[in-house]
Structure 1
Amino acid sequence: MKFYICSISFRHTLTSFQDLISFAGERGFAGIELWGAHAETISEGDPAVTERYVAEMRDKGLNVSMISHYIPLMAPEEDMPDVMARWRRLIALAELFGSDKIRIFAGSRPSVSATPRDLELCAARLRMLAEIAYESGIYTVIEFHPDTYFDTLPSAHGLLQAADHPGIRVNVDFLHVWESGDDPLHALNVLKPWVGYFHLKNVSDRAYLDVFKPENVYSPSGDRRGLTALSEGVVDYARILRHLLQGDEAYPASLEWFGDRPAQRLESEMKWIKQITEQVQAI
C-alpha cells in the first residue's frame, strides 16, 4: 500500500509545497493528497514553478494522489452553471498536478433528511460530474462522511447503484464508517466494487467526534481534544491495516491529522504503520 500526507494537515502552519514534498519523500510517504485551496493557491503562482514541483515529485517517485475539495452538489438549478465551472476548474487542477482523483462530498445534509427526489437528484448530479471528469481520465471520489447523503452504508450503497458510473469511486474514511455504526471491514466488503481511496484518522472516544466538524477543524483556535494516534483510538487500525496489507485492496491511503505539530505526528504514525507492515510480511 501507498500512504500519503494530507496538505490540509498543515493548514495552520507556514509550510511551503516544497517543504511538503521534501517531508513526504524523507519520511517514506508516497506523496501528497492536495487540498483544493492549496492547489488553487499554488497554481496562481508562476506556472514554471508549479511544473518544477510536479517534475520534482515525479523524479522522487512521489505524486499528488488526489485533489480534495468541495462542490455544492445539491445547489439550486439556477446555480448549476457556476457549480459546473468550479468542477471544470478542479479537473484542470487535477490535470495540472498529475492526479487522477478528485474528492467531493455528497451534499451537506444527513441522509436521514433526504427525500426520494433528493437522492434521485444527487445520483444524477454525481453521474453528470463523473462523466465530465472521466472524459479526462479522472475519477470522482465520494467520501463517506457524516451529514452528507453518504453518511450510512445503506445510503452510500444506494447512491452508488443509482449513479451507476465507472468513473465514481469511494473514499472510505474508516472512522466515519465506525461513527455511523457499521463495522469498517464489513462496509469495506459491501463497497468493494467502488472503493478507490482510504482516509485514516482516529479519536479517543465517541464523545469527541465533534472535533471533526468543519467549523471546528478549520478554526485555528478550534478544540483538538480527542484527537489521537491511529494505534490508540476507538477504531482498531491494527486490525484494519492487517486486513488491507494481506488482501488485494491496495488502494492509496492518506493519514489525516487535524491537531498540532502535524509533521511530528505524521512521522510517528508512519513509523507505526511500518511496524504493522513488517509484522504482516513476517507471517
Structure 2
Amino acid sequence: MTEYAPTGHRLGLCSVTFRHLTADEVARRAADAGLEAVEWGADVHAPPQDPDAVRAVRAATERAGLVCCSYGSYFRADPGESASFPALARAAVLLGAPRMRVWAGRSGSRETGSSERRGTAARLREAALIAADHGVELSLEFHTGTLTDTVASTLRLLEEADAPNLRTYWQPPLDSPDDEALAGLAALADRVSAVHVFSWWPGNHRLPLAARDELWTGVFDLLRARGLRPDALLEFVPDNDPAVLSREAGTLRRAAADGPARPAHPADAGARARSPRRGT
C-alpha cells in the first residue's frame, strides 16, 4: 500500500457511498485510496439486528488496516423509536465505533412545532445517555428536512438536548455558495465532530471534488485556524463509481494537507468569499 503523509485530519469514507459493494470491497478500496477510516452504515453493511454481519464488517475493516470512525445509524429520535436505540448502541460497540451518527426528526425547523421539537430534543438526550453508558459519542446529521437544516436550529437543538456527548456533523448545504457555506461552518465549527465531504452543484448534481476546490480549501483553512481536526469523510462520488475513489481521496488529501501558514478564511471574519465554480 502506498504511504501517504498525515494531514492532521483522519480521512475516511462513508460506506453508503458504495452500498452496492460488499464490506470487504469497500474496505479494500478505501485502503487502496490511502484513507484511514470508514463510517459504516446501518442500512446495508452493518444492520444492528445482525450481530454476525456487524462482526464481519469489523473484521473486514481491521484486515484492511483501517479503523471504524463512526456508525451511520438512521435513528431519527421519532416518537416510539427510542426502544430501538439500545440495539444500535450495542452494534456500535460491536463494530468498534466511537461515534454514532443520528438524525434530528423528519421535518424541517420551520415546519416543526414547539412541542414536537421538545420531544425530539428529549429523545436525543435519552439516546445520548444510553450511548454514554456504552462509551459512544452521538453526532447529528446536518441535513435538510430535519431540525439541523440550519446552523441556528442545530445550535439551538444541541443546547436543548443538553448532552455532553452530543455533537454534530457538517456538510455544505445544497446550493450554498462558498461564502455562505463557510460562514455556517465558522458558526458551528466548535461543535463539529466530522465533515461529510462532497462537491454537489447545482442541487445534488455530483461533481468531482476538485470542482469546488476553493470551498474545500477554505473548509480546511478555517478548521486549521481554529485548531480543529474533525474527521473528513468522503460521502458519495460521481456516478457512484468506485474507480474514481482514489482520485477523490487524492483531492481530499491535498485540500486537508497542512501547509505554510495561511490567513484564516474570510468566513471566520464574516467577510465574503467567492461563489463556487460551476464547471466540472
Q: TM-score, length-normalised on structure 2?
A: 0.80
Alpha-carbon offset, residue 74 of structure 1: 2.6
Q: Counterpart of 2:252?
A: 273
Q: Counterpart of 1:238?
A: 217
Q: Counterpart of 1:170?
A: 168
Are residues 1:34 and 2:40 paired? yes
Alpha-carbon offset, residue 250 of structure 1: 0.5
One-letter identity of the residue aligned with 1:271:
G
Q: Residue 40 of structure 1: SS of its match in structure 2? A: coil
Alpha-carbon offset, residue 155 of structure 1: 1.1
Q: Residue 210 of structure 2: SS of its match in structure 1? A: coil
Deviations 1:187-245 (A, max 9, x none): 2332234211111112122xxx2x4xxxxxxxxxxxxxx21022214972222123334
Give 1:157's match in structure 2, choosing from 155, 158, 162: 155
Cα separation, 2, equivalents of 1:115 and 1:42: 33
Alpha-carbon offset, residue 142 of structure 1: 0.5
Question: Conserved in 1, the CA contact under 8 Å of 2:42 and 2:72?
Answer: yes
Alpha-carbon offset, residue 258 of structure 1: 5.1
Cα separation, 2, equivalents of 1:72 and 1:281: 39
Give structure 2 stretches of 5+ with no counterpart. 1-8, 262-280
Alpha-carbon offset, residue 186 of structure 1: 2.7
Question: Conserved in 2, the CA contact under 8 Å of 1:151 and 1:180?
Answer: no
Q: TM-score, length-normalised on structure 1?
A: 0.79
Give 1:134's match in structure 2, choosing from 132, 135, 147: 132
Q: Whose helix fraction is larger, Structure 1's or Structure 2's? A: 1
Give 2:78's match in structure 1, choosing from 74, 77, 93: 74
RMSD: 2.7
Q: Counterpart of 2:103?
A: 105
Q: Counterpart of 1:219?
A: none
Cα separation, 1, equivalents of 2:49 and 2:67: 15
Alpha-carbon offset, residue 55 of structure 1: 4.1
One-letter identity of the residue aligned with 1:232:
A
One-letter identity of the residue aligned with 2:27:
I
Cα separation, 1, equivalents of 2:92 and 2:160: 26
Aligned residues: percent identity? 22
One-letter identity of the residue aligned with 1:281:
G
One-letter identity of the residue aligned with 2:74:
Y
Deviations 1:68-124 (A, max 9, x none): 12124232xxxx2xx233211111111111001111110111110122212211211
Alpha-carbon offset, residue 66 of structure 1: 1.0
Q: Counterpart of 1:65?
A: 69
Are residues 1:199 and 2:196 paired? yes
Question: Conserved in 2, the CA contact under 8 Å of 1:152 and 1:180?
Answer: no
Give 1:255's match in structure 2, choosing from 234, 237, 243: 234
Cα separation, 2, equivalents of 1:85 and 1:240: 37
Cα separation, 2, equivalents of 1:128 and 1:71: 12
Closer, same or farther: CA 121–267 of 1 in aligned 2, 3 Å: same
* Further displaced range: 18-27 or 179-188: 179-188
Are residues 1:4 and 2:2 paired? no
Q: Residue 86 of structure 1: SS of its match in structure 2? A: helix
Q: Residue 111 of structure 1: SS of its match in structure 2? A: coil
Cα separation, 1, equivalents of 2:14 and 2:115: 35
Closer, same or farther: CA 167–276 of 1 in aligned 2, 3 Å: closer
Cα separation, 1, equivalents of 2:247 and 2:97: 26
Question: Conserved in 2, the CA contact under 8 Å of 1:6 and 1:35?
Answer: yes
Give structure 1 stretches of 5+ with no counterpart. 212-225
